[in-house]
Amino acid sequence: MNRWFQAAGVLLLFATPGLSAAEQRGTVRKVDASRQQLTIDVSGTSRSFEVAKDASIVRHEAGDKKKAATIRVIEQGVAGVPVNSTIEFLTEQLGGKPMITSLKVTSVPVAAAEPKKKSAQPKKPPKKKKNKKP
């Protein structure tokens, strides 16, 4: 029985040579939603990756004492990944080139995280100065 498990393990290794995956971390420098590509700075080197059509693209929102951490799906796909955000991604060799199959946005720059809100109160007009007569 033990030899059967060893043989099955060896077969499994040789049957899936192109499915090796690599987990990486980097900073998004450019998003090209029309070509499904991201340019990512990984360890000081800028590289371009194609994103698979069925890739999992999510955003990790950290929690605090009152609120638990959450994972939210980015509905816009590649177009919803902010530039200068920190990501963790998984690549697989598909068609002879590395392709992103899973992507998690872990840190978003402040400017992209919270868009500026318009004030609900109208601005007050400036006070008029009274002319004093001499």
Residue listed under structure tokens 């796909």:
77
127 pLDDT more than 60: yes
Structure tokens at 31: 């998003």
Rg, the chain, Cα only? 25
H or E segment and range at residue 116: none
131 pLDDT more than 80: no
* pLDDT reported for residue 63: 72
Cα–Cα distance measured from residue 66 to residue 64, given in angstroms and rounded to the nearest whole number: 6
Q: What pLDDT, in 10s, does the model give residues 62-116? A: 777 777 778 888 889 999 999 999 999 999 988 888 899 999 999 887 765 555 5
CATH architecture of 17-109: Beta Barrel (2.40)
Closest CA to 104 of 62, 64, 63: 62
* pLDDT reported for residue 82: 92
* pLDDT reported for residue 67: 77
Predicted structure pTM score? 0.62
DSSP class of residue 11? H
Assess contact for 38 and 90: CB atoms under 8 A: no
Amino acid, res. 116: K
* pLDDT reported for residue 66: 77
CB atoms within 10 A of CB 42: 14
131: helix, coil or strand? Answer: coil
